[in-house]
Amino acid sequence: MRKDPVSDRWVIIAQDRALRPGAGKKVVAQKSNDAHCPFEPGMEEETPGSRLVYEKDGRWTLRVVDNKYPALTVHEPFIQKTRGVYVSSQGYGYHEVVIESPEHEEKIWSMKPQKLGEIITAYIQRSIEISCDKDIKYIQIFKNYGRQAGATIDHPHSQIVATPTVPVSTSYELKGAERYYNDNKKCVFCDILAQEESEGERIIFQNAGFIAFEPFASRFPYETWIMPRTHADSFLCLRDDASGVQNLSYALKGSFELLYRLLGDFPFNLVLHTSPFCSETQRYYHWYFEIIPRLYNLAGFEWGTGYNINSVPPEKAAYELKSIK
């Protein structure tokens, strides 16, 4: 058993679980099998109006649109109501889709770093614009790939959801990071990076700006964190940092290439961890991206206890990924 130094969450590393019948099969991302794609060039009228468009040679290369089936909208103001023990509000917030490319079959591991840099820049631009809404406290950027990971459209896209409250999982991370800082007067994430560099066995990619590694208390096989070397609590630190965007694009490219070469066309979630808006987390929090391969479904034990069972130790995962270079 291993404990995450940020959240204090325990995970169980159990290699023998990989020997179960059927457990060793490769998991291939399931496609939608829908011949009609609303994100194709020429189908722009099938999506809500664009909030952001990048173009080259008269063609769009990236579009950001409102989600046609949003989880949250800005149509009604955010007003909390209390009735006895229950608190509720209107479903206020933003839900946008980043249509990453006009090419339907393009995958994140086949994208050029320049394309990934364009996507990162769109994330930054929309986050800055949404942050002007004072009712918004947090922005979650994520990418689902494969039906096992929640994707319903195959065309390359990611999503931005902005909420008026801070998510519980983010609050846990913030509290854990603050507790570590109060005890040690240092950032726990910076200490994690220092130890990963010192030990070396879990790092799979690094450049001048970022380190990608398999975390010590990985919840999932081949879970990967991509973390900036320089301490910063917010992803928006990249807003005026062209070299930072470039280094991040190469780190994403390098990490996904290795994962693809080992796992094949695997389903995954890509999730951004960043600080809430207007927060006092600069001293102790450290933003990062997390890649979660969706190679198995959580079962009763995980849901009942909160303990994840990981059948691939992160040291083994890193060795396998580095061995295919």
Exposed / middle / buried, residue 47 (Cβ in 10 Å: 0-12, 13-18, 19+): middle
What lies within 8 Å, CB to CB, of 70 at 6+ separation is 95
| 104 classed as catalytic | no
Residue 315's nearest CA partner among 198, 211, 216 is 216
95, 155, 157, 273: which is the annotated catalytic residue?
Answer: 157
- Asked if 173 and 189 count as a contact pair (C-beta separation under 8 A), the reply is no
Please state whether 57 falls in left (phi above 0), alpha (psi between -120 and 50) or beta: left
Per-residue 3-state assignment (H helix, E strand, C coil) for 52-75 = EEEEECCEEEEEEEECCCCCCECC
Please state whether 22 falls in left (phi above 0), alpha (psi between -120 and 50) or beta: left
Amino acid sitting at position 213: F
* Cα dist from 78 to 33, 151, 162, whole Å: 38, 28, 13
Tokens of 36: 């009609």
Structure-derived torsion over alpha carbons of residues 170, 115, 35, 257, reported in degrees to the nearest 10: -70
State the Cα–Cα distance between residues 286 and 295, nearest whole angstrom.
Answer: 27
State the Cα–Cα distance between residues 279 and 233, nearest whole angstrom.
Answer: 10
In the chain, where does DSSP find H-type helix?
Answer: 113-130, 168-184, 188-199, 242-263, 300-305, 314-323
Three-class secondary structure of residue 83 per DSSP = strand
Radius of gyration of the chain (CA): 20
For the annotated catalytic residues, the residue numbers are: 157
